[in-house]
Structure 1
Amino acid sequence: MDILSLGEKIKKLRKEKNMTLKELAGDRITAAQISHIERDKSHTSYELLEYLSGKLDVSIDYLLETKEMQSRKITDNLILQSEVYIKCNELENAQRQIAEVIEICKKYDLTDNYGKCNFLLATINLKNGNYSEAVSDFEKALYFFIKDNDTDNIFKCYLNIGNIYMKDGFYKGAISRFDFAEDVLDKSKNEGVESYKDLYSKMAYCYIKLDKSEKSLEYIQKVDSLDKKNSSMEEVEMISLKANNFLNMGKYEESKEYFKKALDILEKEDNKTGMASVYLTISEIYKKLGNRDKALEYSYKVYDIKKDSEDDYMMTGLFKIIEVYVENEEYEMAKKYCKIALASSIKGKNKLNEYRALRFYSDMYRKQNENNLAIEYLNKCINIISEVGNNKILANIYIDLGELYSTISKDKELEYYQKGVCMYRNLEII
Structure 2
Amino acid sequence: MEILSTGEKIKRARVYKGITLKELCRDRISISKMSCIENGKIKADEESLKYIAEKLQIDYNYLTQDVYEQIKSNIENIKTNNYSLEKLDKMIGYNLEYSCKHNYNDLALELIHILFEVYIQNNKLEKIQLIISKYYELYQGSKDNEEIIIYYNDMARFFMKTGEYHEAISYYSRIRDVFEKEELSYNDKYIYACFYEGICYKNINLIEKSYDCLKKVINYTEKFKTDKDKGDYYQEFAIVNILLYKVEAEKYLNMALQYKKNDSIELARFKEKNGEIYFKVYQVDKAMEEIREAVKIYPRAEKRGCGEFLIQAISTLYKNGQFDEAFKYTDEALDLAINIDDEKLIEKAYYFKGMVHQKRHEYIQAEMYMNLATDFLLRFANNEERYIRYNEMAELYYNLNELKDSIKYFTLAIQLEKKL
Deviation at 1:379, TM superposition (A): 0.6
Q: Of the two structures, which has the highest relative contact order with CA contacts closer than 8 Å and spacing of 6 or more?
A: 1
Tell whether the 8 Å contact from 1:98 to 1:117 is kept in structure 2 after alignment.
yes
Cα distance per residue 1:298-322 (max 9 Å; x no partner): x969x969995837xx766433311
In the alignment, the residues of structure 2 paired with residue 425 and residue 188 of structure 1 have an alpha-carbon distance, to the nearest angstrom, of 61
In the alignment, the residues of structure 2 paired with residue 122 and residue 35 of structure 1 have an alpha-carbon distance, to the nearest angstrom, of 48
Correspondence 1:175 to 2:174: no
Match 1:191 to one of 188, 205, 214: 188
Q: How does 1:95-114 map to 2 (within 5 A)?
A: 100-114=94-108
Match 1:378 to one of 354, 364, 367: 367
> 1:361 is matched by which residue type in structure 2?
K
Match 1:361 to one of 337, 342, 353: 353
Tell whether the 8 Å contact from 1:396 to 1:420 is kept in structure 2 after alignment.
no
Tell whether the 8 Å contact from 1:53 to 1:59 is kept in structure 2 after alignment.
yes
Match 2:335 to one of 321, 340, 343: 343
TM-score by length of 1: 0.58
In the alignment, the residues of structure 1 paired with residue 144 and residue 64 of structure 2 have an alpha-carbon distance, to the nearest angstrom, of 29
Q: How does 1:232-251 map to 2 (within 5 A)?
A: none
Correspondence 1:397 to 2:393: yes
> 1:64 is matched by which residue type in structure 2?
T
Correspondence 1:420 to 2:406: yes
> 1:420 is matched by which residue type in structure 2?
S
Q: How does 1:245-284 map to 2 (within 5 A)?
A: none
Q: Match of 1:202? A: 200
Unaligned ranges ≥5, structure 2: 230-267, 379-385
> 1:414 is matched by which residue type in structure 2?
N
Tell whether the 8 Å contact from 1:322 to 1:337 is kept in structure 2 after alignment.
yes
Deviation at 1:382, TM superposition (A): 1.0
In the alignment, the residues of structure 2 paired with residue 20 and residue 63 of structure 1 have an alpha-carbon distance, to the nearest angstrom, of 19
> 2:150 is matched by which residue type in structure 1?
N
Correspondence 1:153 to 2:150: yes
Deviation at 1:357, TM superposition (A): 1.2
Correspondence 1:140 to 2:137: yes
Tell whether the 8 Å contact from 1:345 to 1:353 is kept in structure 2 after alignment.
yes
In the alignment, the residues of structure 1 paired with residue 312 and residue 323 of structure 2 have an alpha-carbon distance, to the nearest angstrom, of 14
Correspondence 1:31 to 2:26: yes
In the alignment, the residues of structure 2 paired with residue 137 and residue 309 of structure 1 have an alpha-carbon distance, to the nearest angstrom, of 42
Unaligned ranges ≥5, structure 1: 230-275, 404-412
In the alignment, the residues of structure 2 paired with residue 414 and residue 385 of structure 1 have an alpha-carbon distance, to the nearest angstrom, of 20
Correspondence 1:163 to 2:160: yes
Alignment RMSD, CA only?
A: 5.3
Correspondence 1:321 to 2:313: yes
SS in 2 for 1:414: coil
Deviation at 1:109, TM superposition (A): 1.8
In the alignment, the residues of structure 2 paired with residue 428 and residue 9 of structure 1 have an alpha-carbon distance, to the nearest angstrom, of 66
Deviation at 1:342, TM superposition (A): 1.6
> 1:354 is matched by which residue type in structure 2?
I
Tell whether the 8 Å contact from 2:353 to 2:366 is kept in structure 1 after alignment.
yes
Cα distance per residue 1:151-210 (max 9 Å; x no partner): 55134245147538x8457x3x5433221234457846752576654443223213x0xx
Change in CA separation of 1:356 and 1:204 when aligned onto 2, cut-off 3 Å: same
In the alignment, the residues of structure 1 paired with residue 53 and residue 413 of structure 2 have an alpha-carbon distance, to the nearest angstrom, of 77
In the alignment, the residues of structure 1 paired with residue 269 and residue 149 of structure 2 have an alpha-carbon distance, to the nearest angstrom, of 21
Change in CA separation of 1:198 and 1:278 when aligned onto 2, cut-off 3 Å: farther
Tell whether the 8 Å contact from 1:342 to 1:357 is kept in structure 2 after alignment.
yes
Q: Paired residues, what number?
A: 346
Change in CA separation of 1:322 and 1:65 when aligned onto 2, cut-off 3 Å: same
> 2:26 is matched by which residue type in structure 1?
A
Tell whether the 8 Å contact from 1:162 to 1:177 is kept in structure 2 after alignment.
no
In the alignment, the residues of structure 1 paired with residue 371 and residue 61 of structure 2 have an alpha-carbon distance, to the nearest angstrom, of 72
> 2:60 is matched by which residue type in structure 1?
I
TM-score by length of 2: 0.59
Tell whether the 8 Å contact from 1:398 to 1:420 is kept in structure 2 after alignment.
yes
In the alignment, the residues of structure 2 paired with residue 309 and residue 155 of structure 1 have an alpha-carbon distance, to the nearest angstrom, of 38
SS in 1 for 2:338: helix
Deviation at 1:60, TM superposition (A): 2.7
In the alignment, the residues of structure 2 paired with residue 223 and residue 280 of structure 1 have an alpha-carbon distance, to the nearest angstrom, of 24
